[in-house]
Structure 1
Amino acid sequence: MKGAPRVRHARLADLTRVAELAAEHASYEEAAPPAPDLAERLGVLLFDTANPRLRCLVAELPDSEVVGYATCAPELSTWDGREYLHMDCLFLRSGNRGLGLTEVQWQTPAWNEGAVRFYDRIGAGVKEKLRYTLPVQG
């Protein structure tokens, strides 16, 4: 295998594989299997050129095998009165976990001591940074 694993946007050709991974994900969570036509449903949600409702990233090994996926969709924040992306699913096949293919990052205000204690207790690492916001005009 050449190169390194990568995370990339899903393509139309990936949908059958993403649907297979979603079935593994459902089994892992002891949930009902996805709809048999999931690949087609995802295609409409992801690739509707007028209004895509879903985003999907896939984790791909150097040999081009897709071994994981993450999906997110626009949601609304009442407090902010605007859209944000909500991550719905994050899944990696069993033999591919812990290899650094994906990483989840989040943030909390420094004063939120309860959250900080919880994140420290589960082994999450902290990276100090400043958070900036800048409204975009146009």
Structure 2
Amino acid sequence: NVMSEFMGLIGGTYDAKKGGEDGFVPGGASLHSISTPHGPDADAFAAATKMDTSVPKKFEGGLAFMFETNAMLSLTAFAVDESHGLVQANYKIGKCWERLPRPQVTRSGPLAAPNEVGKKRKI
């Protein structure tokens, strides 16, 4: 992902990241900078793929915010020092995305594999 994303939860619950020990709690925030994994985690993906999409779902019971920028954002040394209690102790970078299913990607056209470039194709 080429965007930096800062997100916070002001109150209530955030539907894509449940609260509790491993979740997103009111007053919490997250920063995912350029070229780092971010987006829906494995649990949010699994829940969304099983959801009945024939009925619109309204986000209720929370107030969250997010902004994205193409600028490189980073935290100060103070912010990431766990001794201050500002970092969620059990947060493991990337662990929540490990169980995501790997997509089967096939390419054609201008994004074809290098050994396919220049070969004539039947149209």
- TM-score for both structures, normalised by structure 1: 0.21
Structure with the largest fraction of helix: 1
Structure with the largest fraction of strand: 1
Structure of higher RCO (CA pairs closer than 8 Å, 6+ residues apart): 2
- TM-score for both structures, normalised by structure 2: 0.23
